[in-house]
Chain A
Amino acid sequence: MTALSGTIPVFASLEGAPIALKAWILGMLENMGMPEPFLMLVSIQLSILGFFSVFLLLFVLASWFERKILARIQNRRGPNRVGPAGLLQPIADGIKMLTKEDIVPVAADKVLHACAPVLIILPAFLAMAILPYGKNMTPVELEVGILLFFAVSTATELAVFMAGWASLNKFSMLGAMRAVAQILSYELPLILAATSVVMITGSLSLTAMVEAQGGYLLGILPNWHVFTPWGFAAFAMFFISALAESNRTPFDLPEGESELVAGHMTEYSGFKYALFFISEYLGLYVVCGFAVALFLGGWQAPLPFLTFIPSWIWFFAKILCLVFVAMWIRGTFPRVRVDHLMNFAWKFVIPLGVMVLVSAAVWHLAGRGPLGWILSLPPLLIPYWLMARAYGRNYDAGGRVYRFAE
């Protein structure tokens, strides 16, 4: 706590507010004579309720926010009928989704068809449990945190496969095959990028990774991994792969409506479809949360004099910034082609990911400083330059031709 926190008592008390609230509820229950095991269960439930409600609220906001941002980018107004500035639109959408008929195709595998939407939302919730939301605010302190994230995120591809297979529809099947291939390919760069942070931190625990990024260089510059050569490259890789993993534009080929109707979601309606929709946004939040914890300093304040603002506010602010970038990308980038997507993953991102590991190893040995910068940049820049030159050799974009907009 800096001296400033004394002058602004609101912020100082806000820092531990969620923990204090939980302790207050537990204390009240203890005074009522509840036994110890019951209190333990309530304590767990309170944490779960906490992040469930926060993220579902964020989902509701995101679905409104995204439509507003897309509208802004496309020079429209966006939702503006339900509530002030269309703020109640998500509630209207929710009611609409719940009242729609739940259609299950006659030939579908009924059990798998019903399991898929449940399974697809599971990984996001499981991964939320290990995110470090603030100082001493990790719901489940796990020594192998980052591995659990990768383990549960594999459930997504299984759920997508189940949805596509059980629907017994060609579009669903094709969409699911595309999705599984895409998720499998982009999981490698995701893991490679995270491995570089594991190498530097020497731990798989997310809390340890966030704490390793504390402190300030020269008293002003934050010690975040993104401000190192390997960290910047790894962060870019992580974010691109994260977009591909959560099926966001420009990587939303599995549900490319111009060719595949809606991919694996074609045969879903009503609330089951809504679950796919929710899982997409929750997945985006979670993966952005991991990007923040791994590269953007987690709950650390960006500047030393800003530490009076509570850590969890910083964490959520950073997540929202990344989610905004994802929406911005969705509004401005066209969808990529299937072969481009695969070639990009296997021929460019993954080789570069291996070089990021080399760079991180050099940084680890040379140390944080001028020597580290000089030695860890070449392993990244030289392969980047060579690959860009090799792949761009036979590529001629030609001049831009306007057919109608002259």
Chain B
Amino acid sequence: MSGWLLYLPSFFMVEFLFYFLSALILGSALMVVLNRNPVNAVMFLLVVMGGAAGLFFLLGAYFLGVLQILVYAGAVVVLFLFIIMLIAPQTKLKPSPGKTTFAASAAAFALLAAGALALAGAGSTGVTLGEAAPVGHLSKEYGYYLFSVYLLPFLVAGFLLLIAMVGVILISKRFPREEQA
């Protein structure tokens, strides 16, 4: 039995998985934009979320990975599906993208490319993976950072969500006086 073949998986597993997941995320993200069936687009978005969670798992940040699945795949995508289900007919496709869409996406891509180039030009941040991973790895550490160092952004985000919730209630509530008018 050729021994090197058996060694192959453990040496290249992490790198292989990284490139595999990255390709999966990029390909699915492209399909989210290009697919003309809204439900299929959301399903590809689901694959993107799952792939991102896989990358977190690969970094050892299990907590972040699980949260990614829980919040995005579990809640956000399901809400998207509900909305599509309510507003879009089941067999109708989205219209093909027009010139404006192409121009907008080209501009967005140019911005993204510029950002990526700037990041690459800036070089490494000096934070190694071993230093960065534990923050997302242990839920206790994560909670500590959330409630001490990043308390203000956390509270602001919480208030934003509260405002959104009140707004939803206000919009969906029926006022009897309006109905009479």
Mark A residues whose CB is within 8 Å of B: 34-35, 37-38, 40-41, 107, 109, 112, 142-144, 147-148, 150-152, 154-155, 157-158, 161-162, 165, 168, 173, 177, 180, 184, 204
Interface residues of B in 35-55 (CB under 8 A from A): 37, 39-40, 43, 46
Contact pattern, B 57-89, Cβ under 8 Å of A = 1, otherwise 0: 000001100110110011101100110010000
Number of residues of chain B lying within 8 A (CB) of chain A: 30
Known contacts A143-B138, A154-B73; A165/B39 CB under 8 A: yes
Is B7 in contact with chain A by the CB < 8 A criterion? yes
When distances are taken between beta carbons in the complex, the residues of chain A under 8 Å from B82 are 180
Contact of B43 among A34, A112, A152 (CB under 8 A): A112
Known contacts A143-B137, A144-B139; A157/B40 CB under 8 A: no
Enumerate 13 A-B pairs (CB-CB under 8 Å) in ascending A order.
Answer: A35-B6, A38-B7, A40-B10, A109-B37, A143-B137, A147-B66, A147-B67, A150-B74, A151-B73, A158-B78, A158-B81, A173-B90, A180-B82
Known contacts A151-B66, A180-B82; A41/B39 CB under 8 A: no
The docked-state distance in angstroms from the alpha carbon of A147 to that of B138 is 13
* Max chain B Cβ within 10 angstroms of own Cβ: one of A37, A107, A144, A150: A144
The answer to whether A37 touches B10 (Cβ under 8 A) is: yes
The docked-state distance in angstroms from the alpha carbon of A34 to that of B7 is 10
Residue of A whose beta carbon sits closest to that of B137: A143
Is B91 in contact with chain A by the CB < 8 A criterion? yes
Beyond the given pairs A151-B67, A168-B90, 7 more chain A to chain B contacts, judged by CB atoms under 8 angstroms and listed by A's residue number, are A107-B91, A142-B62, A144-B66, A151-B70, A154-B75, A158-B73, A158-B77
When distances are taken between beta carbons in the complex, the residues of chain B under 8 Å from A162 are 43
The answer to whether B62 touches A161 (Cβ under 8 A) is: no
State the majority secondary structure of interface residues on A: helix
Chain A's nearest CB lies how many Å from the CB of B49? Answer: 11
Residue of A whose beta carbon sits closest to that of B69: A151
Chain B's nearest CB lies how many Å from the CB of A117? Answer: 15
When distances are taken between beta carbons in the complex, the residues of chain B under 8 Å from A41 are 9-10
Known contacts A152-B69, A154-B70, A158-B73; A147/B43 CB under 8 A: no
The 5 closest A-B pairs by CB, nearest first: A154-B74, A37-B10, A151-B69, A151-B70, A38-B6
Residue of A whose beta carbon sits closest to that of B73: A154
Interface residues of B in 1-41 (CB under 8 A from A): 3, 6-7, 9-11, 37, 39-40
Residue of B whose beta carbon sits closest to that of A157: B78
* Max chain A Cβ within 10 angstroms of own Cβ: one of B37, B39, B138: B39
Contact of B39 among A34, A112, A148 (CB under 8 A): A112
Residue of A whose beta carbon sits closest to that of B10: A37
The answer to whether B63 touches A143 (Cβ under 8 A) is: yes
The answer to whether B78 touches A143 (Cβ under 8 A) is: no
The docked-state distance in angstroms from the alpha carbon of A151 to that of B10 is 27
When distances are taken between beta carbons in the complex, the residues of chain A under 8 Å from B40 are 109, 112
The docked-state distance in angstroms from the alpha carbon of A35 to that of B5 is 10
The docked-state distance in angstroms from the alpha carbon of A144 to that of B67 is 10
The answer to whether B62 touches A143 (Cβ under 8 A) is: yes
The answer to whether A144 touches B43 (Cβ under 8 A) is: no
The docked-state distance in angstroms from the alpha carbon of A334 to that of B137 is 46
Known contacts A37-B9, A151-B69; A161/B90 CB under 8 A: no
When distances are taken between beta carbons in the complex, the residues of chain B under 8 Å from A173 are 85, 90
Chain A's nearest CB lies how many Å from the CB of B165? Answer: 15
Residue of B whose beta carbon sits closest to that of A147: B66
The answer to whether A147 touches B78 (Cβ under 8 A) is: no
The docked-state distance in angstroms from the alpha carbon of A147 to that of B74 is 12
The answer to whether B63 touches A147 (Cβ under 8 A) is: yes
Chain B's nearest CB lies how many Å from the CB of A112? Answer: 7
The docked-state distance in angstroms from the alpha carbon of A35 to that of B4 is 9
Known contacts A112-B39, A143-B63, A144-B62; A165/B74 CB under 8 A: no
The answer to whether B139 touches A143 (Cβ under 8 A) is: yes
The docked-state distance in angstroms from the alpha carbon of A151 to that of B137 is 16
The docked-state distance in angstroms from the alpha carbon of A44 to that of B90 is 43
The docked-state distance in angstroms from the alpha carbon of A371 to that of B92 is 64
When distances are taken between beta carbons in the complex, the residues of chain B under 8 Å from A143 are 62-63, 137-139
Chain A's nearest CB lies how many Å from the CB of B134? Answer: 11
The answer to whether A168 touches B66 (Cβ under 8 A) is: no
When distances are taken between beta carbons in the complex, the residues of chain B under 8 Å from A165 are 39, 81, 85, 90
Chain B's nearest CB lies how many Å from the CB of A26? Answer: 15
When distances are taken between beta carbons in the complex, the residues of chain B under 8 Å from A35 are 3, 6-7
When distances are taken between beta carbons in the complex, the residues of chain B under 8 Å from A204 are 139
Residue of B whose beta carbon sits closest to that of A183: B78
The docked-state distance in angstroms from the alpha carbon of A107 to that of B90 is 11
The docked-state distance in angstroms from the alpha carbon of A35 to that of B91 is 54
Residue of A whose beta carbon sits closest to that of B64: A144
Chain A's nearest CB lies how many Å from the CB of B173? Answer: 16
Chain A's nearest CB lies how many Å from the CB of B83? Answer: 12
